[in-house]
């Protein structure tokens, strides 16, 4: 009797996917792959030239990549030797998301061809085959059994559960050299994807790229690969940091145009400043809405002492001196502003820092010789800032390095990469130090931190000053990259970052308190407006919607540290205990 009851109460086993559905999905992926070798349209007017038969181009490459990855995930789910690594956590959910990625990219391309060229008549047989094959692949993939149904009764909970990674399966231990090789390959693939995205010629190519990347990242999360890779990066932190900066160093050597490298340079400037703000917001928990002003202090300082003919001071100091002066000026401003304002909390502190940012911008605008002393040339700013020259190396001229000709922006990119390394080292050392732990304690509960003997005001002022110093350091390079420094560059909201609103959004989007989070967030927030300029009038609305969705489904950010994951994770510790707790036996 007891055995029968136990058998009845057991949870039903997860149904196995019929092999026929898996093979049908594989067949759809193969057809999608083959369709990219056929012409999709008859005219080369559409970006990417999709008229060639036998050679994929433009958006066809994205469909080819999505179909290939779908096939790999299906074969991994079938247990094919050598491909089981592709699905360590979940077999079928990853296939569905990758099939969706291929479908979304392909159908976006088909619709874009019809809209741009004036009708479905402009589609060639290859486009029709791709549309039908990807649609069938998605339909069959959704017929595969679900491995874990989302918990909860609300539609929001069901939708949110689709983006949560499955529990990791038992992974076979790999040799140390193999783990290091996997990290290197992962960063190499990341460099390839970033290079492709930044080099897209039209908005259509970039939108298709975003669709594939968005669903593709979800597929990797569902398969368990991203969780496993995260475990490897945590295990080999120094190797991960080295691989990241080697990949970043290789970026200008992969570019054929200095115009694309200029985007990379500005992304590094934006990301470095966002990482400095991460100390203030992410570690210390201080909401600073005027942080871009410290970037302006460093830029104006460098512009005034770097030999510009429009500077009222006839001074031309070496770059290392300009860097120190810019960082020192930002430090002084940070202490002057922080000393009286950091006694405020929450919204009051945010309002005061927002006011400081506007005061700085208006102050620089009024130092024009009419409203005030003639120092900054007013709204016209300080133009004609000369290019840097260090040890006989002129950053404004082209140079051949390792057989590759590097232009002006490539030179500044490599210089800014060194600055980024310095900022990352400062952030990591601060985060792992006693001061960093004190900042986190103040962020979580300032009252409790004070009760434990932490001098909250002094440490908050230190965080404010350090963040200002790092922003000023980046500002000294920005002044030479842009040639001109004007007050309009440092508004709270500007058409293009960096500005205070976008800096704060980059920290929140990427993940507060992490190193890679603000770097990824800054790259996304700069690259998307730069590539999709037709969305300029709606970018604030779109970013607002993106932040609302992020707070709803992933409040810890795209890259979250363990503390944030535990803070936002539903552990169920407050649920009512099930079964006999032992209280009745104790007579309670």
Q: What is the pLDDT of residues 535-558, one digit of tens each?
A: 767 777 777 787 788 778 777 778
Q: What is the pLDDT of residues 231-284, one digit of tens each?
A: 888 888 888 888 888 999 999 888 877 888 888 898 999 989 999 999 998 888
More confident call, 174 vs 302: 302
Which segments of 199-284 does DSSP mark as H helices, in order?
203-223, 225-235, 237-250, 258-278
Determine the average pLDDT of the residues in 465-482: 91
The winner for highest mean pLDDT among 61-65, 305-309, 366-370, 553-557 is 61-65
**pLDDT score at 110:** 93
The span from the CA of 212 to the CA of 233, in Å, is: 24
pLDDT at 562 over 70: no
pLDDT at 36 over 90: yes
Locate the domains of the chain by residue range.
Answer: 18-147+167-234, 257-496
Contacts of 410 (CB under 8 A, 6+ apart): 252, 255, 258, 261
Q: What is the pLDDT of residues 376-430, one digit of tens each?
A: 888 888 888 888 888 778 888 888 777 778 888 889 999 999 999 999 888 888 8
HEC per residue, 404-472: EEECHHHHHHHHHHHHHHHHHHHHHHHHCCHHHHHHHHHHHCHHHHHHCCCCHHHHHHHHHHHHHHHHH
The span from the CA of 469 to the CA of 326, in Å, is: 8
Residue 313 token pair: 């001071």
Cα three-residue angle 579-585-586, rounded to 5 degrees: 120
pLDDT at 576 over 60: no
**pLDDT score at 2:** 43
Could you tell me how far CA 17 lies from the centroid of its own chain? Answer: 35
**For the chain, what is the radius of gyration of the CA atoms?**
27
Q: Are 225 and 77 in contact (CB under 8 A)?
A: no
Determine the average pLDDT of the residues in 272-301: 89
The span from the CA of 67 to the CA of 26, in Å, is: 9
**pLDDT score at 495:** 57
**pLDDT score at 569:** 56
Residue 489 token pair: 């560059």
Local structure of residue 100 (DSSP, 8 states):
H
The span from the CA of 282 to the CA of 295, in Å, is: 18
Determine the average pLDDT of the residues in 292-321: 88
Q: Which of 201-210, 318-327, 393-402 has the lowest mean pLDDT?
A: 393-402
Determine the average pLDDT of the residues in 13-40: 82
The span from the CA of 587 to the CA of 585, in Å, is: 5
Q: Which of 126-140, 310-324, 563-577 has the lowest mean pLDDT?
A: 563-577
The span from the CA of 2 to the CA of 399, in Å, is: 82
Q: Is 82 left (phi over 0), alpha (psi -120 to 50) or beta?
A: left
More confident call, 572 vs 509: 509
Reported as a pLDDT band with limits 50, 70 and 90, residue 9 is very low
Closest CA to 334 of 288, 367, 374, 368: 288
**pLDDT score at 138:** 92
pLDDT at 587 over 80: no
**pLDDT score at 90:** 62
Q: What is the pLDDT of residues 141-176, one digit of tens each?
A: 888 876 554 444 343 344 444 444 444 444 566 777
**pLDDT score at 567:** 59
pLDDT at 43 over 90: no
pLDDT at 311 over 60: yes
**pLDDT score at 563:** 64
pLDDT at 18 over 90: no
Residue 7 token pair: 């058998």
What value does the mean pLDDT of the chain take? 81
Residue 363 token pair: 């102050």
């Amino acid at each position: 009797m007891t055995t029968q009851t136990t058998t009845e109460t057991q949870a039903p086993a997860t149904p196995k996917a019929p092999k026929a559905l898996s093979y049908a999905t594989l067949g759809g992926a193969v057809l999608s792959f083959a369709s990219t070798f056929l012409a999709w349209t008859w005219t080369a007017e559409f970006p990417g030239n999709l008229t060639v038969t036998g050679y994929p181009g433009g958006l066809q490459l994205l469909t080819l990549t999505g179909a290939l990855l779908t096939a790999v995930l299906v074969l991994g789910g079938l247990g094919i030797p050598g491909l089981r690594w592709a699905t360590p956590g979940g077999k079928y959910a990853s296939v569905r998301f990758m099939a969706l990625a291929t479908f979304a990219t392909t159908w976006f391309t088909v619709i874009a061809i019809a809209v741009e060229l004036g009708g479905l008549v402009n589609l060639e047989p290859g486009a029709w085959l791709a549309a039908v094959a990807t649609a069938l692949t998605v339909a069959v993939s959704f017929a595969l059994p679900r491995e874990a149904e989302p918990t909860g009764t609300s539609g929001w909970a069901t939708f949110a559960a689709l983006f949560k990674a499955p529990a990791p399966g038992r992974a076979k231990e790999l040799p140390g050299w193999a783990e290091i090789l996997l990290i290197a390959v992962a960063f190499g693939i990341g460099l390839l994807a970033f290079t492709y995205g930044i080099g897209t010629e039209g908005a259509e190519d970039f939108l298709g790229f975003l669709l594939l990347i968005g669903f593709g990242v979800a597929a990797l999360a569902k398969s368990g690969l991203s969780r496993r890779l995260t475990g490897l990066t945590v295990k080999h932190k120094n190797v991960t940091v080295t691989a990241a900066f080697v990949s970043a160093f290789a970026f200008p050597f992969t570019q054929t145009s200095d115009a694309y490298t200029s985007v990379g340079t500005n992304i590094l400037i934006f990301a470095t400043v966002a990482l400095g703000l991460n100390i203030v917001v992410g570690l210390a928990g201080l909401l600073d809405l005027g942080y871009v002003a410290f970037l302006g202090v460093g830029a104006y300082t460098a512009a005034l002492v770097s030999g510009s003919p429009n500077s009222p001071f006839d001074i031309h100091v070496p770059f290392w001196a300009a860097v120190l002066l810019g960082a020192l000026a930002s430090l002084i401003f940070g202490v002057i502003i922080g000393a009286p304002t950091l006694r405020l909390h929450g919204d009051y502190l945010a309002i005061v820092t927002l006011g400081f940012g506007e005061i700085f911008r208006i102050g620089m605008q009024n130092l024009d010789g009419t409203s005030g002393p003639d120092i900054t040339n007013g709204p016209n700013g300080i133009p004609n800032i000369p290019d840097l020259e260090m040890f006989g190396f002129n950053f404004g001229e082209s140079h051949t390095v390792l057989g590759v000709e590097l232009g002006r922006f490539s030179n500044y990119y490599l210089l800014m990469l060194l600055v980024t390394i310095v900022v990352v080292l400062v952030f990591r050392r601060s985060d792992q130090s006693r001061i960093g732990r004190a900042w986190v304690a103040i962020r979580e509960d300032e009252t409790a931190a004070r009760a434990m003997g932490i001098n909250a005001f002094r440490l908050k002022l230190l965080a404010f000053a350090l963040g200002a110093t790092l922003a000023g350091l980046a500002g000294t390079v920005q002044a030479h990259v842009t040639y001109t420094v004007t007050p309009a560059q440092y508004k709270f909201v500007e058409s293009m970052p960096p500005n205070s609103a976008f800096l704060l959004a980059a920290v929140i989007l990427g993940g507060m308190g992490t190193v890679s989070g603000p770097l990824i967030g800054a790259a996304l927030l700069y690259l998307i407006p730069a590539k999709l300029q037709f969305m300029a009038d709606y970018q604030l609305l779109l970013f607002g919607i993106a932040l609302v969705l992020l707070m709803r489904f992933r409040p810890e950010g795209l890259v979250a540290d363990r503390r944030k994951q535990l803070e936002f994770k539903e552990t169920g510790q407050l649920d009512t205990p099930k079964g006999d707790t032992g209280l009745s036996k104790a007579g309670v």
